[in-house]
Chain A
Amino acid sequence: AQSVAQPEDQVNVAEGNPLTVKCTYSVSGNPYLFWYVQYPNRGLQFLLKYITGDNLVKGSYGFEAEFNKSQTSFHLKKPSALVSDSALYFCAVRDNYGGSQGNLIFGKGTKLSVKP
């Protein structure tokens, strides 16, 4: 079965430090990978995606993600965290099977807390 795992429920980082939010995936066929962010009481917002090409993908708000095929990972990174980055982050992979028309399968989310 296709799936995505976010091994950390919460990540704590000091402002100004680099941050990493981990994601691993299991999918048949080519992986189409996504990161979304959710601020409190809001809907999810798209951050970035990997479809093909360069393994380092740059997205919104200074975030980037590194695709690693051998490790089946797609970790989200940012060189210098801001307090305003505190939110819930979701990794997602496209469902390549069935009639779900490319539905996204989401991880359970990782809460990022950035302290001043």
Chain B
Amino acid sequence: DAGITQSPRYKITETGRQVTLMCHQTWSHSYMFWYRQDLGHGLRLIYYSAAADITDKGEVPDGYVVSRSKTENFPLTLESATRSQTSVYFCASSLSGGTTGELFFGEGSRLTVL
């Protein structure tokens, strides 16, 4: 089905482990975003990408790595997970960024770091 999908939906890991959250969209949108959602903070931007091979930091990038070798995929990697990275992660895509177009969100990936 067309849309934006995230995997895994739920993940439990241990401190220090590497974790990769996957994001795939079928609309060929140029822009893709990773947000984390935490109680009391709303959504905060981790990284974004304006096109394949173009990525940039958002508000809270420390501890995260992204890549975008193909337009449709935008994986988020936690190189050495910490408890403070326990959160719900949302991937989003947009045809024109946040300029005038809306963002389309995935269902989220709930990550617990023990």
Residues of A within 8 A of B (CB): 32, 34, 36, 41-46, 49, 51, 90, 92, 94-95, 99-104, 106-109
B74 at the interface (CB under 8 A from A): no
**Closest Cβ–Cβ distance, residue A97 to chain B (whole Å):** 12
Contact B42 A95 (CB under 8 A): no
Residues of B within 8 A of A (CB): 4, 31, 33, 35, 40-45, 48, 50, 56, 58, 90, 92, 96-100, 102-108
Taking CB atoms, residues of chain B closer than 8 Å to A44 are 43, 90, 92, 103, 105
Contact A108 B42 (CB under 8 A): yes
Contact B43 A106 (CB under 8 A): yes
User: Measured between alpha carbons, how far is A45 from B107 in the docked complex, in Å?
Assistant: 10
Taking CB atoms, residues of chain A closer than 8 Å to B48 are 100-101, 103
Apart from A32-B98, A46-B102, A101-B50: 14 A-B pairs, beta carbons within 8 A: A32-B100, A34-B98, A34-B102, A43-B92, A43-B106, A51-B100, A100-B48, A100-B58, A101-B48, A101-B97, A102-B97, A103-B58, A103-B98, A106-B44
**Closest Cβ–Cβ distance, residue B11 to chain A (whole Å):** 15
Given A101-B31, A103-B33, answer yes or no on A94-B56 (Cβ-Cβ < 8 Å): no
Closest to A94 in B: B98
Contact B97 A49 (CB under 8 A): no
Complex partner residue of A103 from B41, B97, B102, B105, CB under 8 angstroms = B97
User: Measured between alpha carbons, how far is A34 from B45 in the docked complex, in Å?
Assistant: 16
Contact A90 B100 (CB under 8 A): no
